[in-house]
Structure 1
Amino acid sequence: MQQLRFEQAWDKTIAEVDRKRITRIFKESTLQKDEPIQLTRLSQAKNHKGELLVTVLVHNTTQQTFSFYNKQLRYIENKAEMATHIFTSPAISIEPLVSMPWTFIFPVESIKTPPTLLNGHLEIIL
């Protein structure tokens, strides 16, 4: 059975209102049995450096730990690729049958087209 977990640093610092929102979204998530790693969008924003921050709920529905080390992700809006980046640090690992929130930071140079930050989603390029 899928369990919601927070990475240690998140667990210590997350606001209660955000924890409740993420817990609600986790409970409402409908996971596909044939998709081993699924991403549920939580938010997207730009920081003061112009980097794109995409926060998702990562669902590992497999029996094996999944690592994002050296994985390429792309941020899509309206079927158009806005940013692509290979993530190497920190190496996020998701345990089997665990869902965990995480923020992926796309550096400015990985942004191909300025995003609108509306209705975007992440895809893992396998």
Structure 2
Amino acid sequence: MQKLQFESAWDKTVSKKHRKIIEDAFASTEFLLDDSIQVTSLWQALNHKGNLLVTTLVHNTTQQSFSFQNTKLRYVEDNLVIAEHTFTIPAFVVEPKTSIPWTFIFPKESLVSSTTFQDGDIEIVKEEKSSD
């Protein structure tokens, strides 16, 4: 059974409004039948430096712990890639059958297109296998 967990820093600082949004999103998530890592985008914004901040729920539906190690993510709106960046976040570990809120920060330089930054999705880019 999938459970929602907040990192200690999140648990202390998240507003009641955002906690409700996160809990509602978790409750309405339809998990894929296969063991996988799923990402649900919640909201996004540009900060004062021009970086794209995308707040998500990361769902680990597998039986193993998961962390972002050299993992390429894309922020996509209407099938258009807006930003792409490779993340390594050693301190961020998602335990098996657990969902955790997390904000991914795409550096300004990773933005390849401009948009309204609404209703986008995060995609995990699968490594392409070489055909040697």
Same fold, TM exceeding 0.5?
yes
> What is residue 22 of structure 2 aligned with on the other side?
22
Choose 1 or 2 for highest CA Rg.
2
Given the superposition, is the C-alpha separation of residues 59 and 20 from structure 1 closer, same or farther in structure 2, using an over 3 Å criterion?
A: same
Q: 1:79, CA displacement in angstroms?
A: 0.5
Gaps of 5+ in 1: none
**Equivalences, count:** 126
Q: 1:51, CA displacement in angstroms?
A: 0.2
Query: In percent, how many aligned pairs have the same letter?
Result: 53
Verify the 8 A CA contact 1:2 1:99 in the aligned structure 2. Answer: yes
1:62-81 deviation line (CA, Å, top 9, x unaligned):
00011112111011111111
> What is residue 49 of structure 1 aligned with on the other side?
49
* Deviation larger for 11-20 or 101-110: 11-20
Q: 1:123, CA displacement in angstroms?
A: 0.4
Aligned residue identity for 1:49: K
Given the superposition, is the C-alpha separation of residues 63 and 88 from structure 1 closer, same or farther in structure 2, using an over 3 Å criterion?
A: same
Distance 1:102 1:28 in 2: 18
Verify the 8 A CA contact 1:57 1:100 in the aligned structure 2. Answer: yes
Distance 1:109 1:120 in 2: 18
**RMSD over aligned Cα, in angstroms?**
1.2
Distance 1:89 1:62 in 2: 19
Distance 2:18 2:118 in 1: 19
Given the superposition, is the C-alpha separation of residues 107 and 90 from structure 1 closer, same or farther in structure 2, using an over 3 Å criterion?
A: farther
